[in-house]
């Protein structure tokens, strides 16, 4: 009887560990998805900013900020916070018509967001 209880305990313990690992993976995947989306939109902001399209650069930078902030809620990674800061600068400059400066800030944000992976 003692042996059966040990096996049952082992099985339940393994199931608990597996559950925790799956949940941790889901949290990381969700955060990673927002970081990836933020990077994608920041890259578009860079592309449009370098072409002088301040409006499009701003639109993509705003979308990147939204995703980066969602990732920031799920992680305390300082690179995400720094990425958000630069993306907000990109939005501010884009709204002022400074397309090239917006592109530079979005580019710096990309570097930080990629380091958050």
Show the domains of the chain with their CATH numbers: 28-115 (1.20.120.660)
Classify burial at 3, counting beta carbons within 10 Å of its beta carbon; exposed 0-12, middle 13-18, buried 19 or more: exposed
pTM: 0.74
In order along its 117 residues, the chain shows pLDDT tens digits of: 446 667 667 666 666 676 655 555 544 444 579 999 999 999 999 999 999 999 999 999 999 999 999 999 999 999 999 999 999 999 999 999 999 999 999 999 999 999 997
């Amino acid at each position: 009887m003692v042996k059966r209880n040990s096996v049952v305990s082992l099985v339940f313990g393994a199931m608990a560990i597996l559950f925790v690992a799956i949940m941790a993976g889901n949290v990381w995947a969700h955060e990673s998805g927002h970081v990836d989306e933020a990077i994608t939109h920041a890259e578009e902001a860079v592309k449009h900013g370098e072409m002088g399209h301040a409006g499009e650069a701003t639109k993509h930078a705003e979308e990147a900020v939204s995703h980066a902030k969602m990732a920031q809620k799920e992680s305390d990674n300082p690179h995400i916070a720094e990425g958000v800061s630069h993306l907000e600068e990109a939005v501010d400059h884009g709204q002022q018509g400074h397309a090239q400066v917006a592109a530079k800030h979005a580019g710096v944000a990309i570097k930080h967001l990629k380091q958050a992976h």
